[in-house]
A and B are shown apart, each in its own frame.
Chain A
Amino acid sequence: MLTPLQARQWDLQKAAHLLNRAGFGGTPDEIKAFCELGMDRAVQTVLDGPDDSLQFPKPAWAEAKNLFEMHQTMALMPDADRKAMQQQIQKQYRQNDLDLINWWLGRMRYSANPFREKMTLFWHGHFATSVQKVRESYLMWLQNETLREHAFGNFGLMVKAISRDPAMLIWLDTRESKRDHPNENFAREVMELFTLGIGNYTEDDVQQAARAFTGYRIDPRDETFRFAPFQHDGTDKHFLGKTGPFGGDDIIDIILEQPACAKFISKKLWEFYAYQDPSPAVVNTLASSFRQSDYEIRPLMSTIFRSAAFYSADAVRTQIKSPVQWVVQTAKVLDTPLPRPQITVNALRQLGQVPFAPPNVKGWDGGKAWITTSTLLYRYNMANFSVGNGPLRIEPVRRVANVQGPMGNGFDVQNYNGPDLAKVVPQVVRGDPRRLVAYLCFRLYQDPLTARDTQTFVKYVSDQGPNLSDDALRELLHLMMSTPQYQLT
């Protein structure tokens, strides 16, 4: 059972927790405003956020191409011209990758509806697709829009949309799948990773499902989904105990009837938003309401965000920030813009999470896997850069998703101003070491430190003398971010 949190238990820390987990955190003022809404309206704000698409128009290059015409034109070109044009396209793709990542990070950072972006990030990790194989940034943008559209919608509709998504058709080879040679890649992953989890189907089910997904193609004239009946196997399939001339949508409908599906998705959502390894009771409660609502995501998220367990000690401040969460939340709490795209994207690469380039179809492992001695020190040094303290070493690569190493030794990037200190630290607390540290604890961790750790920082401030310099204040911010505690949210 999941008992709801009582309205009177709602407080600043819980408001901060909801902002952090459902979105990317906020400034002390934003947390206070969110708290004043009360739990009901705060959760409502999360679930029914405004449409921000006018605020974030699609990138200028994000248009479908007529690949058919393009290939015809190129086939007629002299070799040298064709090579030059191919190089030009590759160069454009590289630029578009950066642009696309930056477009999305900016949307996470500034959207009036960050909750939809966080949910989209969850679905991106779930239906993990990489530009490394898809190649074309436009198709990655298109998939991102599909995930956003269905983010709080119906899970069944989302899986069906994803099964026709051009980037997915490339990523898991569905477009190559022929009636006489069905490709099992998508059929396997749709069950193993997207809906049921391993152990809830047989190898035979994979082969039968693969036949149902034959004939899914991309129309080269406008890069949209096209069904090719001549390549579709319309004969009977025996799938999860049922028999019929199933198509892809029928397969998805049968999958959705399996109790394992609701459990698999509910558990993954709970682990992303609340905490690892929920009890079977929690999973079963969520899964049964998810199935009863016919896989509507919004009511499921409402149950999660209103539950006492979501605000329990198991959940609050126990999650290791993902690199994306770290970068966006840092910009939010320091009230700064994101650093230049090349810097941010290269830092994300060092930290192990480049959006649109997950390591494989399983997505990012997350949790403790984010942290090694190397990535932890890089987080600390990224903090040094973010507060305006000094340079950051980046190691550019030709394409963000490249498996090959960086080009050369990398170089230091400088000239980042960091936060406006007057905005980040009110004058009234700056002169009082104890109040300053308490204030920054709330701004950075939304939570006090232990007495010992507090004392460590208070002493540092006191030792600086009566007038804390800007440099010393920046170093204090950096020190407070160079801690295990800042990696948690």
Chain B
Amino acid sequence: MSDHDDDHIIEPHTSTLHTRREFLRTSMLGAAVSLSVPVFLQKTFFTLDAMAADSAVQTATGKDSPILIVLQLAGGNDGMNTVIPYADDAYYRARPVIGIPRESVIKLNDYAGLNPKLVGLKGLYDEGHLSILQGVGYPNPNRSHFRSTEIWQTASDSDKTDSYGWLGRYFDSCCKGADPTVGVAIGNQTPQSFAAAEPTGVAFSRPEQYRWLNGDKSGASQQIYMEMNAPDPTDMRALDENDGGSIGSLAGTSTPSRHGESNLEFLQRTALDAQMSSDKVLSIARKYPASVSYPRTALGDSMNLVGRMIAGGLATRVYYVSQGGYDTHTNQVATHARLMDELNTALVAFAQDMKAQGNFNRVMLMSFSEFGRRVSQNASNGTDHGAAAPMFVMGGGIKPGLFGKYPSLDNLNSGDLAYNVDFRSVYATILDRWLRAPSKEVLGRQFPLMNLV
């Protein structure tokens, strides 16, 4: 299923441009790059030149490159009820009501085990396709959802703010000039981790809606839509302004913003990305039904979509998926069990799908949450915001195992588990060893690598 040529996936009835490169070849190559060309096109144009000269720059082909799936467990997953220190009496003392009974824990070793709902993940662990990272966090943890999420998304120190995301900096550093689908966020929002000096990436959740609808059957309006949503290569604004002084400013004329891209240019670029990606996404979704059955949950739907995009060869390096609902302050037992079940069934289906496609060795999934939760249950049989927590890394080509040490329940840091693995070591390992990108450049300094890949 995986060995499909991109060019044959596109439906023949449209003349949509598939990539920025193709767009430039058909409409701009040969034309002199003048000052009237929008900034982002100039950048892309020069980037293409640079790419030709420097073959070391990676381009995703959609057929053989490694793929990373980042799964955000939004709201702060209760790490202690995910990977459970069942042999520690302190755990049951701190959680008399919400603690997972010792006998139902799925044992990993003589100290820790998995939530009983994660039975499928245990299977993947046993067959060597899942690693479990214990006690992941960062120094001076912040307990605000907003701030801690930002720290994870930007890989910054907790006392510094960064405007770019760690994946955005990876795109900037290694994927210049790539198709906009190099980064795909499932949903309506672009995650902060995609924020970049030269932003790229698309977002969608339902392929059948990820397209321009219209009330015209003739095709004429499709043509106009395409023209209006691609930048004008012979930009007429300069001319208009010369002969129409009394008109004032023209619709959408704007001044460059901080990074040299005006809001109009930004909209034009996003419109072009939407136009170029929507036909491709829709046609892949139509041609590649899921090869296995996924659970009908929000996360199941998202993983299903990722699986189909991978089957169809979308030239994506990073998929971003999110599962919400983890902010379990009150009566968490049933809620958390449901979330664990949804996580387990969706990931197991995805792993089966990747195996069936023959793509399991190409994919790595990494889960994270902005923080774990307090060691002790609160007065409402829930848990409040905490610190260090486990991460999962799944894939056909990873080195499996139980990494890091389970944080001590006796030696707490302001009532929370102390981290012993900096999450940026996980990022660094994935960048260096999986995406084959220079982690020091992307993360700003060298973090110790782990034996994950």
* Contact call B255/A376, Cβ cutoff below 8 A: no
* Contact call B251/A456, Cβ cutoff below 8 A: no
Chain A residues within 8 Å of B271, by CB: 376, 483-484
Interface residue count on the A side (C-beta < 8 Å): 66
* Chain B interface (Cβ < 8 Å from any Cβ of A): 74-75, 145-146, 180, 185, 187-190, 202-206, 209-216, 220-221, 224-225, 227-229, 232, 234, 236-237, 239-240, 247-255, 257-258, 262-264, 266-268, 270-271, 273-274, 277-278, 298, 301, 324-325, 327
- Name the contact of A456 in the complex, choosing from B75, B213, B228 (C-beta under 8 A): B228
* Contact call B214/A478, Cβ cutoff below 8 A: yes
Chain A residues within 8 Å of B248, by CB: 11, 13, 316, 447
Chain B residues within 8 Å of A317, by CB: 249, 251-254
A66: CB under 8 A from chain B? no
How far apart are B210's CB and chain A's nearest CB, in angstroms? 6
How far apart are A451's CB and chain B's nearest CB, in angstroms? 5
In the complex the two chains form, what is the Cα distance from A393 to B262 in whole Å? 31
* Contact call A378/B188, Cβ cutoff below 8 A: yes
In the complex the two chains form, what is the Cα distance from A277 to B255 in whole Å? 11
Question: Which residues of A from 402 to 452 have beta carbons under 8 Å from B?
Answer: 403-406, 409-410, 441, 445, 447-452
Chain A residues within 8 Å of B227, by CB: 456
* Contact call A404/B325, Cβ cutoff below 8 A: yes
Question: Which residues of A from 89 to 134 have beta carbons under 8 Å from B?
Answer: none
* Contact call B224/A485, Cβ cutoff below 8 A: no
* Contact call B232/A452, Cβ cutoff below 8 A: yes
Look across to chain A and name the residue whose beta carbon is closest to the beta carbon of B271: A484
- Name the contact of A482 in the complex, choosing from B225, B234, B258 (C-beta under 8 A): B225
* Contact call B215/A449, Cβ cutoff below 8 A: no
In the complex the two chains form, what is the Cα distance from A360 to B146 in whole Å? 7
Q: List 13 A-B contacts (CB under 8 A).
A: A318-B262, A318-B264, A360-B145, A372-B270, A373-B273, A374-B205, A381-B212, A384-B213, A389-B215, A403-B324, A404-B298, A450-B232, A478-B215
Which of B75, B185, B274: most chain A Cβ within 10 A? B274
* Contact call B203/A372, Cβ cutoff below 8 A: yes
User: Do A376 and B228 contact each other (CB < 8 Å), given the known contacts A360-B145, A403-B325, A405-B324?
Assistant: no
* Chain A interface (Cβ < 8 Å from any Cβ of B): 11, 13, 275-277, 313-314, 316-320, 350-352, 360-362, 367-368, 371-378, 380-381, 384, 387, 389-390, 393, 403-406, 409-410, 441, 445, 447-453, 456-457, 460, 463, 471-472, 474-475, 478-479, 482-485, 487-488
* Contact call A390/B267, Cβ cutoff below 8 A: no
* Contact call B267/A374, Cβ cutoff below 8 A: no
Look across to chain B and name the residue whose beta carbon is closest to the beta carbon of A381: B213
In the complex the two chains form, what is the Cα distance from A226 to B163 in whole Å? 41
* Contact call B74/A403, Cβ cutoff below 8 A: yes
* Contact call B146/A361, Cβ cutoff below 8 A: yes
Which of A351, A483, A484: most chain B Cβ within 10 A? A484
Look across to chain A and name the residue whose beta carbon is closest to the beta carbon of B149: A360
* Contact call A479/B228, Cβ cutoff below 8 A: yes
